[in-house]
Structure 1
Amino acid sequence: HLDALITKHHRHPIFKHLIGYTYSVEQGDRNDGRGYHIHAAYFFNGNIVCRDVCKATGIGKLWEEITRRQGYAHSCNHDKDQYGDKLGIGQIHRDDQSRRPHTHYAMKYLVKDDQHLRLKPAGARCLRKGTLSRFRRSA
């Protein structure tokens, strides 16, 4: 399913102005009900895109469509108020030095080691990242 989502980066309207992404595939404890799951971070051109909650909602709906409702999405962008002055998600201006450490912390959460894959299929990648071409960024 993740490959199908990544393929959509180049042609689905929700990903318009996407400049970069990171996905981390993890395996939770079977007893906690989480099993295999994906953490994702998306980077959009902030000069054009400013509605992060709308983007997150749209991407979540697309994921549910791709997985035929077998997968679901949760967005931390909907809960930004809980982070207070430690907010590191949403629209962040490149000159805002005070929020960078919080963004770094949020990104480290994506690659935390406590839920690594116990069984990794041959050829599978646990971490995927990428950037889109300059043309796609501004289109």
Structure 2
Amino acid sequence: MRNLINQAQLTLDIENFLKCLKRRSREWDEFYSQLTNLLLDFNDIYDPDDEYPGYLKFFVILRYDLQSIDSDEVDLKDELEMIGYREIRKWFLDLSEDFEKDYKIIEKQKDENKIEVQKYCRSILNKCSRILVARVDLGYLQEYSSRIRVEDIYKDLDILLNRIQNKDGIFKHVIGFAWGIEQGGKSKGFHCHLAIIYDNAYRAGSAEYWGNEIIELWKDITRDFGQGYNCWNHKRVAELRSKDELGIGVIHRRDSTQVANFIRAMEYIADHHKRTLQYLRVKPRGRRVFGKGQLRAQYDRR
């Protein structure tokens, strides 16, 4: 095993490397060294139970086709040099059209998620005339980023979602929720955007208070590896309020501006086009990157 590998950063680095390979018709300095190191690191973190969309699929192919992938750095680099830059690039370009279909699927899914979340928000407001929306971003401390795999955030989120669905403790009067998992580099890594929607007729407390409570619960679930950001940031809230764009906190059904802002804030969680570059480059097979609660046909306020 090589040094601890940051899975989130490595998969971003591989994608960026392959974008360069597509753009550049001529070999660049350190090409073989870079490719060798990326392949060896990828071989260490590869899991057949994970999905690698888009350009990452090329590294899965290389992993199975290169004879020296389980050898040392020198042997693998020698094999790549024997194949040559032009042949490697041609190999990638011949397959890139198929790889890029994954990106179109990702964009299509985002549009579908946007429509889904709009309907969900309106359904919630049909049930409750006044709601309280808490928004948090949940992730992991940077010093632990090399230990975190994409499976970890799904496992930790599953525990949190189970607490929400069971209306445990701080989630007693939750009427709805939505989440989206994304991927940043070293500073953000794998992280989750989460909105919790309370029936404000029954839930005392502010969006800031409940956001902080959710973050503390996340830290407990992650054994203090986790951290969170409360979107009820006073400076940011004041800025949004001055522009009449605040979509969290108390939302009144009768206020069309508040409703529009609320829906827009929820669309952000569904990962609309503003944050295209933070899609997952690796995820457990069959898992979704976005989800929401199931609104009961007859909402039970007990």
TM, length-normalised to structure 1: 0.88
Contact 1:18–1:132 (8 Å) recurs in 2: no
Matched, 1:4 2:167: no
Question: Aligned-pair RMSD on alpha carbons?
Answer: 1.6
Deviation track 1:30-69 (CA, whole Å, cap 9, x = no partner) reads: 3xx1010000111110212242221111111101100111
Matches within 5 A, 1:122-133: 122-131=285-294, 133=296
The separation in 1 between residues aligned to 2:238 and 2:277, in whole angstroms, is 26
Question: How much has 1:120 moved relative to structure 2?
Answer: 1.6
Aligned residue for 2:247?
88
SS of alignment partner, residue 29 of structure 1? coil
Q: 1:22 offset after TM fit, Å?
A: 0.4
**TM-score, normalising length: structure 2:** 0.42
Deviation of 1:7 after TM superposition, in Å, equals 0.9
Which segments of structure 1 move beyond 6 Å, counting only runs of 4 or more?
Answer: none
Give matches, 1:52-67, under 5 Å. 52-67=207-222
Q: 5+ residue gaps in structure 2?
A: 1-155
After superposition, what is the alpha-carbon deviation per residue over 1:54-104, rounded to whole angstroms, capped at 9, x for unaligned? 111111110110011111111112332231221111110111111222222
SS of equivalent residue, structure 1 residue 39: strand
Q: How many residues align?
A: 135
- Higher relative contact order by CA 8 Å / sep ≥ 6: 1 or 2? 1
Q: Percent identity over the alignment?
A: 34
Output the amino acid matched with 2:239. Q
Shift in Å at residue 11 of structure 1?
Answer: 4.3
Change (3 A) 1:14 1:132: farther
SS at match of 1:99: helix
- Equivalent runs, 1:5-84 vs 2, <5 Å: 5-9=160-164, 10-30=166-186, 33-50=187-204, 51-79=206-234, 80-84=237-241
CA distance in 1, matches of 2:157, 2:251: 26
> What is the match of residue 261 of structure 2?
102
Given the alignment, which residue of 282, 295, 298 partners 1:119? 282
Consecutive unaligned residues of structure 1, counting only runs of 5 or more, are: none
Normalized per residue, the structure richer in helix is: 2
Partners of 1:69 and 1:81 lie apart in 2 by 31
| Distance (Å, rounded) in 2 between the aligned partners of 1:17 and 1:128 | 19
1:56 and 1:75 in contact (8 A); partners too: yes
**Greater gyration radius:** 2
Letter paired with 1:78: N
